Structure formats: structure tokens, C-alpha cells
């Protein structure tokens, strides 16, 4: 069965680790939908959140192959557990005298922020789940999106459980 | 103690028990080679091509069970190692490859003889390192040897920039390895082993299918004990050959594409397959969803990623094969399967492993080598028909006696690997069973063998073809012999051997075979190459076509 998987990978914070991990996906022809990497509370450890589409069995194999990398400490596929997930997007949208009020209202409803402003544009910052961000982008697009960037998804398990 | 990075490398190798390095110098390795100039306790075998160094280290590792070491300079030196590293990776062979690198300040600037060898070898090494700080060298060398030889063994590469070799460090060798991302499971789960023993006790038609893991974990004694106690026929893959004595009454020989008919029939009708240190390779299973459909599978492997990769086992056990099989041998009941044994005996009578015709047949040559060496030679093969005939007609009783590039199928493996094997086993006769195609891929290593006074024997089964591909063309491409007939230009192998300072012999009649082999056995100070002009159109049989099933098996 094919499904979107969100995989957390705890790794040694060292050069080359990302390339090793990414190579396992590339070799099997998988496009990584989104990727976020940062150091954790332990400066020697980084955490990757990888979102990828693929058959369950192949992803199980990739997870096991990830585990085999010397720099990988832990792999967690968040398939069957409740999680908190967030993404962040910056959207530069055309904003003229006629549309400014409407955009500000929309942004407010989404609890997003306008973080930069110019004669002709707003830059909107929004965080949340993928659906929320999709919805806001959809509403803003009629005004004309000039540029935008979304981060990769980041995920933590709900409750006291840690990876 | 204060020393240079290059001195530290050699000192670290000394601590790891390295006896021999197979290498080829170059600009980016000059500091290390300068240290080697004064080194007497570690032998250096100079190869004539870096690929030969990697295969020789691999052959040494397979024959000895120790970690093999090869060394090459930056750029083309490293890229020439690549095929040998990939060969070792596919067959889980522990080698450590050292490459020189341009100085750290020049890395990434397309300097002369620069190649990103850690990037290139990422998917074909168990792990690799680029050392940028000489102080880390002792720790990294320690880790590299540890990673190479533990868990599922494999190659590790260390890329060593020239300035790191020259830097001065305080040498302190760590006692322990600390790798928080690497903790191979070695002890099988006791409850799972218990259940496996119950399944074995209940089986009526069990078969053990063993692979390279038997060799890697040195589990032959445990395997024999298990098979004999529970009366289980055993089929060993090309990688596992010798892990169960080929002449044992429970032996089924090799399974798969060119395995014995009776091994394949037994797997097909088995109700339980006990897979030990093996990975259900496509050359064994053929069409995967038709493979052993009646059987439940117990899969024991030290690498969790192998479990469920190709076949979903009814019972998985992650652990060291030696430990798990040892436990199983203690827990299973004494058992007999007379009906199953008789069924297999009937297949053995009906489809014996043999050949037809009386000329100078390649199978006959191998059988005569077996006789002359009393079955005790270390056999190394090239890849193709020569490899399959060697596997079929040279029965082995010991592990580490049959060395072959199974996973990658590397032509040109045999001669350099035989050199490594001869260094590891000076007490044994070492034979490279070659084809006239394969031998020409690393023929330059004759010079290395002559220089090192290694009496390796090369038996060329010369049929003027790239024979295995020719066989496929004959059988599956309407005999359209496309670019596999190499008889138009075949070197005079006798003159070629002599040109290198080796002994060359030619055999064109069946009656000369034994004498030539005996003659080769008498030579103990240099290599001997015998050019056997064998029957040209012989096919390797039996054969299960790629992606086929036992029903598609050709027996003649």
C-alpha cells in the first residue's frame, strides 16, 4: 500500500550524514516531499523529519537501511501514532489599496502574521499543519502570490513519548 | 608518543594486527609510503593496478577471516578501488581501504588527482571517513576496523589528505570504540529460538538454506550439529560453499540458477526452510512469488534489514548465526525423516550433477584439479561459466576454501583475490579457475604474483567465448552470438605467462590434463598459468532461467 510517511531520524551532528540518508531514498527513485533538519537539545545530535510517498514495504526497507548507517541513532516512522506536526510558510503576496483590508482580515482569521510590508506587497508568515497552510495559500493566490517558501514538516510524538 | 599522521596510521594498523597491505603508491600517499620504507613488520604487496589491491585484500580477508587492507592514492587510485570495494560490499567482506587525498586546503578545488572518494563510495561501503584532523586518526582507524569486522562485515574506506599524513600528533590508541549509532545485535531472541526449535521438530520436509553468514560467523560446526541431530538436508549458496561439507550425506549442493536439480526440488517441496545468514538472492529464488511456496520460512540473519527484504519469514531471528544455530542445535529433538530423505535420494539418482561427452571438457578439468589437490586447495574463481563449474565440480569440506564474487559478479576478481588468498594461506595450494575472458581483466596481476614469489595456479578454461553470455544468447536469443566470440584475438597465454616471468602450460588433449596439473603443483616459487583449450560450446547445466521456477529448469 502506498501512503505518505513521516519519518523522524536522529543522527550524529556531522558532515555528510544528510547525503548518506538522502542517498538511500534517491537510489530507490523516491522523491522526498519535504525535509527539515536541525540540531536538538543535545548539540551532538541532529533530527531530520522526512516526508516521503511510497509503498509501505519499501519504506520499511528504507527505514531499516537508515538504521544501518553508522551516524543514525534512531528511526521512527510516525505512521500509527498521534503527533504534533507543524510547517511554516512565508508568502509574498501582491497587496494594493483595494486588497489590503481583505488580506489583513484573512491573515487574522488564520492567526498568521504580516511580517513585512511594501508599497505593493505584504509578506505573510503562517505556521500550522499542511492543510491550514494550503488553505491560506489558496485564499491568497487570487491576489497574486509573487514568491513563497515553505519549510519541511517538523513532527514530535504527542504525550511524554520521545524518539 | 609524538608522531606524524602517516606513522600513526601504520602504528594503528599494527595495533589492529595487520600483517599485510596490498597497495599502489602515488603523490597523495607519499608520506605513508615513506614510512613503509622503514617498516619491516607489515608486509606490503605491490599490485599493478589498484583494482587488484582491493580484490587481493578481499581474497586475503575471505581466506583468513581477518580484515584485509588495501591502499591507493587520490583520484584515479581511489576510483580504481571502487569495483573491488563494491565487490566486498555485496559479499559482506571485511576490508579497510586507505586512500590518499589532496591536502585539506585543496579539497573541493579540483586539484590534481582529486576525486570525492567518500562521496563516490558512500553507497558501497559500510561506512567511510574523510579525516580532516590528524588527532582523530587513531580513533577513526580503530573504528574502521571495528566496523569492518563486526555485525554484518563489510568494507570501510578512510580518505587521508596529504597534510594530515604529515601533521604531528600525540599518538594515543583508544581501548574501546564508542559508536552510539552502531550496536549490532549478536544474541538471538531466546523465545524466538525456542519457537524455531518447535517448528523444526514439527517439520516433515525441512531444508536448511545456508549462505555467507555461515562463513562470516564461523558456524560450520554448529550447522553440522543441527543438521545431523534433526536430520535436515542442507543446501549452501555460492557464498556459503564449504560452510557445510559438500561430501556430507545431508548435502544438497548449491541451490538456484545453476544449483543442483535436487537442491531446487527440495526447496520447492519443503514444508520448512531454515535460512541461515543468507539473503534470498534472485539467483537463488528465481521468480520470488513462486519460490518455495509450500514452505514456512525461519530467517536468521545478523542484519535486520535482510529480514523481510525479499521473503517474509514466518519466524525472524536477528542475531549472530553461530550463536543462534548453536542454540538451535541444543534445543531441537533428535529426529529422522526417512520418507523425505528417500525422496531426495531419488532426485539425486535421477538428476545427478554430471556432464556428457568425452572430450576436453571444462568440468573434467575441475574434477582433475580436485583430485590432484585432494579437495584441499583454496579455489578462487573469476565470473561466468568457470565460476559455476568450479562451484559444481570442486566439492569443498571447509569454510574459506571457495572464494568467489557472488553478489557483484566481478570478472577479473579471481587472479588478484588468489594472490590475497595465497598470502593468507601459504600452506595451501591456491587455484584461480578462470575463463579466457575474465583472466584478461586483471592479467597484469601476474606481475604482482611473480614479484611476491606467490605460487598461485591459474587454470584458464579457454573456450574463446565470453561463455556465460554466449550461453544466454544461445538459449534465449536464438543463438545470435553478439560480441561474445573472442577467439579472433586470443593472446598466447603461455607466452604471456612467460613474459611476466611465470610458468605457462598449454593443454589441448584430455590425456594431458592430469600431467599439466601435476606439473603446476610442483612449482612453488612463482605462478603457473595453464591454458586449457576446452570444448567451446559447453553449457552450464542445470539452469533455471532468470525469473523462472523449478518447472522451467533445464537439465541438459
Phi, psi of B167 (to 5 degrees): -65, 150
Give the nearest partner residue to B181 out of A16, A57, A71, using CB atoms.
A71
CATH number of domain containing A138:
3.30.70.1150
Q: Which three cell numbers stand for residue B425?
A: 594461506
Is A65 within 8 Å of chain B by CB? yes
Q: Is B305 on the interface with A (CB under 8 A)?
A: yes
In the sheet with B315-318, reading across from the earlier edge strand, the strands are: B234-236, B206-210, B272-276, B296-301, B315-318
**Contact at CB, A60 and B308, closer than 8 angstroms:** yes
Q: Does B65 touch chain A (CB under 8 A)?
A: no
Q: What are B152-163's pLDDT values in tens digits?
A: 999 999 999 999
The closest CB to that of B181, out of A23, A65, A73, belongs to A73
Cα atoms in the 13 Å half-sphere on the side-chain side of B274 = 30
Q: How many CB atoms lie within 10 A of CB B347?
A: 18
Residue of chain A whose alpha carbon sits nearest to that of B180: A73
CATH superfamily of B362-533: Thiamin diphosphate (ThDP)-binding fold, Pyr/PP domains (3.40.50.970)
Q: What are the residue ranges of helices labelled H in A69-129? A: 100-109
> Who among B118, B119, B305 is closest to A61 (CB)?
B305
Question: What mean pLDDT, rounded, does chain B reach?
Answer: 97
The tally of CA atoms less than 13 A away on the side-chain side of residue B187 is 2
Residue A162 within any structural domain of the chain: no
* Shortest alpha-carbon distance between residue A82 and chain B (Å): 26
Substitution target in B117, B125, B139, B180 with the highest count of A β-carbons within 10 Å is B180
Question: By the 8 A CB rule, do B489 and B508 touch?
Answer: no
Q: Measure in Å the smallest separation between the Cα of A70 and chain B Cα atoms.
A: 5
Q: Do A12 and A58 have their domain in common?
A: yes
Please state the domain count of chain A.
2
Residue A58 lies in a domain: yes
Chain B CB within 8 Å of residue A16 CB: yes
CB of B288 within 8 Å of a chain A CB? The answer is no
Residues A115 and A138 grouped into a single domain: yes
Same domain (yes/no): A102, A44: no
Taking alpha carbons only, the member of B68, B147, B146, B84 closest to residue B117 is B84
Q: Cα dist. A104→A88, A139, A140, A149 in Å?
A: 18, 12, 10, 20
Sites in chain A below the pLDDT cut of 70: 1-2
Q: Do domains B2-170 and B362-533 have the same CATH topology?
A: yes
Whether B182 contacts chain A with CB within 8 A = yes
Q: Which positions in chain B touch A68 (Cβ < 8 Å)?
A: 126, 303, 305
- Assigned C-alpha cell, B475: 538459449
Domain termination site, one of A77, A94, A126: A77
Burial of B496 (0-12, 13-18, 19+ CB in 10 A): middle
A26 contact B CB<8A: no
When scoring B129, B133, B181, B302 by the number of chain A Cβ atoms within 10 A, the one with the most, hence best to mutate, is B181
User: B385-393 vs B362-372: helix axis angle to the nearest 10?
Assistant: 50
Q: Residue A49's domain spans which residues?
A: 2-77
Q: Answer whether B181 sits within 8 Å of A27, measured CB to CB.
A: no
Q: What is the CATH number of domain B190-350?
A: 3.40.50.1220
Contacts B313 to A, Cβ<8 Å? none
- Confidence (pLDDT) at A1: 60
* Contact criterion met (CB < 8 Å) for B305 and A64: yes
Domain ranges of chain B: 2-170, 190-350, 362-533
* A160 lies in some domain: no
Phi, psi of A34 (to 5 degrees): -155, 155
Identify which of B531, B548, B18, B488 has the alpha carbon closest to the alpha carbon of residue B284. Answer: B548
Consecutive 10-residue averages of pLDDT for chain B (556 residues): 97 98 98 98 98 98 98 98 98 98 97 97 98 98 98 98 98 95 93 98 98 98 98 98 98 97 97 98 92 95 95 96 98 98 98 94 98 98 98 98 98 98 98 98 98 98 98 97 96 98 98 98 98 97 93 88
- Contact assignment for A72 to B181 by CB distance below 8 Å: yes
- Cβ pair B179:A27 closer than 8 A: no
- Which residues of chain A does B305 touch, with a Cβ-Cβ cutoff of 8 Å? 61, 64-65, 67-68
A89 and A72 in a common domain: no
Q: Do A61 and B309 touch (CB under 8 A)?
A: yes
Nearest to B98 by CA among B202, B206, B173, B26: B26
Give the pLDDT score at A4.
Answer: 84
Say if CB B56 and CB B417 are below 8 A apart. yes
Mutual angle of helices B338-350 and B261-269, in 10-degree steps: 150
| A33 and A66, same domain (yes or no) | yes
- Nearest CA to B363 out of B355, B351, B374 is that of B355
Question: Which of A19, A60, A69 faces B181 most closely, judged by CB atoms?
Answer: A69
CB neighbourhood size of B350 (10 A): 11
Within 8 A of B303 by CB-CB distance, chain A residues are 68
**Contact criterion met (CB < 8 Å) for B123 and A12:** no
Give the residue carrying C-alpha cell 513532527.
A155
Please answer whether residues B6 and B166 qualify as being in contact, where contact means their C-beta atoms are separated by less than 8 angstroms.
Answer: yes
Question: Which one of A77, A105, A129 terminates a domain?
Answer: A77
Kind plus residue range of the DSSP H or E element containing B171: none
Residues A73 and A89 in one domain: no
Cross-chain Cβ contact B304/A73 below 8 Å: no
Q: Looking at CA atoms only, how far is residue B32 from chain A in angstroms? A: 26
- Does residue B495 belong to the interface with chain A, where contact is any CB pair within 8 Å? no
- Cis peptide preceding B331, ω within 30 of 0: no
CATH assignment, B2-170: 3.40.50.970
B181 in reach of chain A (CB within 8 A): yes
By Cβ distance, the residue of A23, A64, A70 closest to B181 is A70
The answer to whether B414 and B446 have CB atoms below 8 angstroms apart is no
* pLDDT tens digits along B227-258: 999 999 999 999 999 999 999 999 999 999 99
Subunit contact A20:B180, Cβ cutoff 8 A: no
Contact A58, A125 (CB under 8 A): no
The whole-angstrom separation of Cα A66 and Cα A53 is 16
Residue whose C-alpha cell is 550439529: B225
Q: Are residues A60 and A36 in the same domain?
A: yes
Task: Give yes or no for B180 touching A (CB within 8 A).
Answer: yes
Question: Rounded distance, CA A85 to CA A65, Å?
Answer: 25
pLDDT of residue A2: 67
Q: Within an 8 Å CB–CB cutoff, is residue B279 touching chain A?
A: no
**d(Cα B6, Cα B292) in Å, to the nearest integer?**
53
- Domain end marker among A35, A56, A77: A77
A96 and A73 share one domain = no
Supply the pLDDT for residue A31. Answer: 85
A35 assigned to some structural domain: yes
Cell triple for residue B290?
Answer: 513462486
Cα(A117)–Cα(A95) distance, integer angstroms: 9
Query: String of b and e for A153-163 (b: at least 16 CB within 10 Å)?
Result: bbbbeeeeeee
Question: Is position A90 within any domain?
Answer: yes
| Interatomic CA distance for residues B34 and B46, integer angstroms | 14
Residue B183: other Cβ atoms inside 10 A? 10
> In angstroms, what separates the C-alpha of B509 from chain A's closest C-alpha?
50
Q: Chain A: residue nearest B144 by CA?
A: A70
Q: Using CA coordinates, name the residue in chain B closest to A62.
A: B305
* pLDDT at residue A53, rounded to an integer: 87
- Per DSSP, the three-state class of B50 is helix
Does the beta carbon of B119 lie under 8 angstroms from any beta carbon of chain A? yes
Distance between CA atoms of residues B462 and B486, nearest Å: 10
Chains A and B form CB pairs within 8 A to the count of 38
Residue pair B520/B457 in contact by the 8 Å Cβ criterion: yes
Number of C-alpha atoms within 13 angstroms, CB side, residue B97? 42
Is the Cα dihedral A31, A34, A37, A41 positive or negative? negative
At B153, give phi and psi (nearest 5°). Answer: -65, 165
Instruction: Tell me whether strands A83-94 and A121-128 are parallel, antiparallel or unpaired.
Output: antiparallel
**Cross-strand partners of A88:** A127
CB contact under 8 A, A12 and B181: yes
CATH classification at residue A51 = 3.30.70.260
Residue A88 host element (H or E): strand A83-94
Q: What are the beta bridge partners of residue B157?
A: B97, B128
Q: Is A159 on the interface with B (CB under 8 A)?
A: no
Across the interface, whether the CB atoms of B181 and A11 are under 8 A apart is answered yes
Amino acid at each position: 500500500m502506498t501512503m505518505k510517511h513521516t519519518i523522524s531520524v536522529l543522527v550524529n551532528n556531522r558532515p555528510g550524514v544528510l547525503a548518506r540518508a538522502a542517498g538511500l531514498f534517491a537510489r530507490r527513485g523516491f522523491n522526498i516531499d519535504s525535509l527539515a533538519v536541525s540540531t536538538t537539545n543535545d548539540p551532538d545530535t541532529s533530527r531530520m523529519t522526512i516526508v516521503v510517498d511510497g509503498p509501505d514495504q519499501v519504506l520499511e526497507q528504507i527505514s531499516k537501511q537508515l538504521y544501518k548507517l553508522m551516524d543514525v541513532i534512531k528511526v521512527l516512522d510516525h505512521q500509527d501514532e498521534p503527533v504534533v506536526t507543524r510547517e511554516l510558510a512565508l508568502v509574498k503576496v501582491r497587496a494594493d489599496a483595494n486588497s489590503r483590508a481583505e488580506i489583513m482580515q484573512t491573515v487574522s482569521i488564520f492567526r498568521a502574521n504580516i511580517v513585512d510590508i511594501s508599497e505593493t506587497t505584504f509578506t505573510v508568515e503562517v505556521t500550522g499543519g499542511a492543510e491550514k497552510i494550503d488553505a491560506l495559500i489558496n485564499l491568497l493566490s487570487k491576489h497574486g502570490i509573487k514568491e513563497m517558501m515553505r519549510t519541511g514538516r517538523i513532527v514530535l510524538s504527542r504525550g511524554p513519548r520521545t524518539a | 608518543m609524538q608522531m606524524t599522521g602517516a606513522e600513526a596510521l601504520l602504528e594503528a594498523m599494527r595495533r589492529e594486527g595487520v600483517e599485510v597491505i596490498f597497495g599502489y603508491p602515488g603523490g597523495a600517499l607519499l608520506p605513508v609510503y615513506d614510512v613503509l620504507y622503514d617498516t619491516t613488520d607489515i608486509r606490503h604487496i605491490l599490485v599493478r593496478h589498484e583494482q587488484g589491491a582491493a580484490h587481493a585484500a578481499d581474497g586475503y580477508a575471505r581466506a583468513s577471516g581477518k580484515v584485509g587492507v588495501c591502499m591507493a592514492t587520490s583520484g584515479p587510485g581511489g576510483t580504481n578501488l571502487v569495483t573491488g570495494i563494491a565487490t566486498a560490499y555485496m559479499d559482506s567482506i571485511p576490508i579497510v581501504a586507505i586512500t590518499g587525498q589532496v591536502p585539506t586546503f585543496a579539497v573541493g578545488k579540483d586539484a590534481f588527482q582529486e576525486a570525492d572518494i567518500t562521496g563516490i563510495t558512500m553507497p558501497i561501503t559500510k561506512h567511510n571517513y574523510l579525516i580532516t584532523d590528524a588527532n582523530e586518526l587513531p580513533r577513526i582507524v580503530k573504528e574502521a576496523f571495528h566496523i569492518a569486522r563486526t555485525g554484518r562485515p563489510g568494507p570501510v574506506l578512510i580518505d587521508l589528505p596529504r597534510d594530515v599524513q604529515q601533521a604531528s600528533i600525540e599518538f594515543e590508541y583508544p581501548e574501546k570504540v564508542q559508536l552510539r549509532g552502531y550496536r549490532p545485535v549478536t544474541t538471538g531472541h531466546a523465545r524466538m529460538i525456542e519457537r524455531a526449535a518447535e517448528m523444526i521438530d514439527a517439520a516433515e520436509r525441512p531444508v536448511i538454506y545456508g549462505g555467507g553468514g555461515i562463513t562470516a560467523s564461523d558456524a560450520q560446526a554448529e550447522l553440522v550439529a543441527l543438521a545431523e541431530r534433526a536430520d535436515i538436508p542442507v543446501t549452501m549458496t555460492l557464498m556459503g560453499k564449504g560452510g557445510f561439507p559438500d561430501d556430507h550425506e545431508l548435502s544438497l549442493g548449491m541451490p538456484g540458477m545453476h544449483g543442483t536439480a535436487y537442491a531446487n526440488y527440495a526447496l520447492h517441496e519443503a514444508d520448512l526452510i531454515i535460512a541461515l545468514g543468507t539473503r534470498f538472492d534472485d539467483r537463488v529464488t528465481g521468480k520470488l512469488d513462486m519460490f518455495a511456496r509450500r514452505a514456512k520460512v525461519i530467517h536468521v540473519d545478523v542484519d535486520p534489514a535482510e529480514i523481510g527484504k525479499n521473503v517474509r519469514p514466518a519466524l525472524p531471528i536477528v542475531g549472530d548465526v553461530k550463536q543462534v544455530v548453536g542454540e538451535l542445535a541444543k534445543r531441537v529433538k533428535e529426529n529422522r525423516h526417512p520418507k523425505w530423505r528417500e525422496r531426495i535420494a531419488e532426485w539425486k539418482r535421477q538428476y545427478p550433477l554430471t556432464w556428457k561427452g568425452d572430450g576436453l571438457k571444462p568440468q573434467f578439468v575441475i574434477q582433475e584439479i580436485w583430485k590432484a589437490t585432494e579437495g584441499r586447495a583454496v579455489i578462487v574463481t573469476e565470473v561466468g561459466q568457470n565460476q559455476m563449474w568450479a562451484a559444481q565440480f570442486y566439492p569443498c569440506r571447509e569454510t574459506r576454501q571457495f572464494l568467489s564474487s557472488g553478489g557483484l559478479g566481478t570478472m577479473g576478481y579471481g587472479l588478484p583475490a588468489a594472490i590475497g588468498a595465497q598470502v593468507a594461506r601459504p600452506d595451501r595450494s591456491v587455484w584461480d579457475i578462470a575463463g579466457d575472458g575474465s583472466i584478461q581483466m586483471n592479467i597484469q596481476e601476474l606481475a604482482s604474483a611473480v614479484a611476491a614469489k606467490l605460487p598461485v595456479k591459474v587454470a584458464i578454461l579457454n573456450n574463446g567465448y565470453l561463455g556465460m553470455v554466449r550461453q544466454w544468447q544461445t538459449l534465449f536469443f536464438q543463438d545470435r552470438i553478439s560480441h561474445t566470440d573472442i577467439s579472433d584475438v586470443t593472446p598466447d597465454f603461455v607466452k604471456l605467462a612467460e613474459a611476466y616471468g611465470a610458468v605457462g602450460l598449454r593443454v589441448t588433449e584430455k590425456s594431458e590434463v592430469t600431467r599439466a596439473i601435476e606439473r603446476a603443483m610442483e612449482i612453488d616459487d612463482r605462478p603457473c598459468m595453464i591454458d586449457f583449450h576446452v570444448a567451446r560450446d559447453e553449457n552450464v547445466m542445470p539452469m533455471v532461467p532468470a525469473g523462472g521456477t523449478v518447472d522451467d529448469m533445464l537439465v541438459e
